[in-house]
Amino acid sequence: MNMNCTKTQQTGSVILEALIAILIFSIGILALVGMQATAISNVADAKYRSTSAYLANQIIGTVWATRLNIGANASNVMVANPDPTFACNPCTNANGNPYTRAWVANGVAAELPNGVASITVNGAVVTVTVNWTPPNATVAHRHTIQTYVD
């Protein structure tokens, strides 16, 4: 068996190794670009989720601040209930009370893509639902919060 390699038998091996190295490097770069695109999409989704939670908590704070005093109960404790004029389904610039109209115009419609909200008041239970559809998404997202206002 002849173990002697001549220079002509190894011609082009450096170029082949360089091409394989470039291929591996390119696959790695493409994977990084794909991960960056996914990260950007997830950050945008997280922004919309946190905005919807903030808006829902904002209107609940307003409901708490403007609740109606009904009077004292049998134990002489003041009883309060949420103002029923907060109820709107869906909330728009034309229905609800001045607080909900401003909330929709300056918050839900302004900060969320295709943002729509609804508020239900059932006794002391207030339920706020905020819906939005992110760009390039086919399914609407929803954030619902329910609280007792008394």
The bridge status of strand 125-132 relative to strand 68-72 is: unpaired
Q: Is residue 4 part of a domain?
A: no
Residue 13 is predicted with a pLDDT of: 80
Q: Is residue 5 part of a domain?
A: no
pLDDT at 119 over 70: yes
- What mean pLDDT comes out for the span 107-125? 89
Residue 124 is predicted with a pLDDT of: 84
Q: What is the DSSP track for 56-122? A: HHHHHHHHHHTPEEEEE-TTS-EEEE--GGG-EEEE-SSSS-HHHHHHIIIIIHHHSTT-EEEEEEE
Q: Is residue 7 part of a domain?
A: no
CA atoms 50, 53, 58, 64: torsion sign: negative
Q: Is residue 117 part of a domain?
A: yes
Structure tokens at 119: 């508020």
CA distance 117 to 50: 15
- How many domains does one find in the chain? 1
Q: Is residue 3 part of a domain?
A: no
Furthest-apart CA pair in the chain: how many Å? 109
Q: Is residue 82 part of a domain?
A: yes
Q: What is the pLDDT of residues 52-105, one digit of tens each?
A: 999 999 999 988 888 876 666 667 666 677 878 888 888 888 888 888 889 998
Q: Is residue 47 part of a domain?
A: yes
Residue 38 is predicted with a pLDDT of: 87
Range of the domain at 134: 13-148
Residue 71 is predicted with a pLDDT of: 64
- What mean pLDDT comes out for the span 117-121? 92
Residue 97 is predicted with a pLDDT of: 85
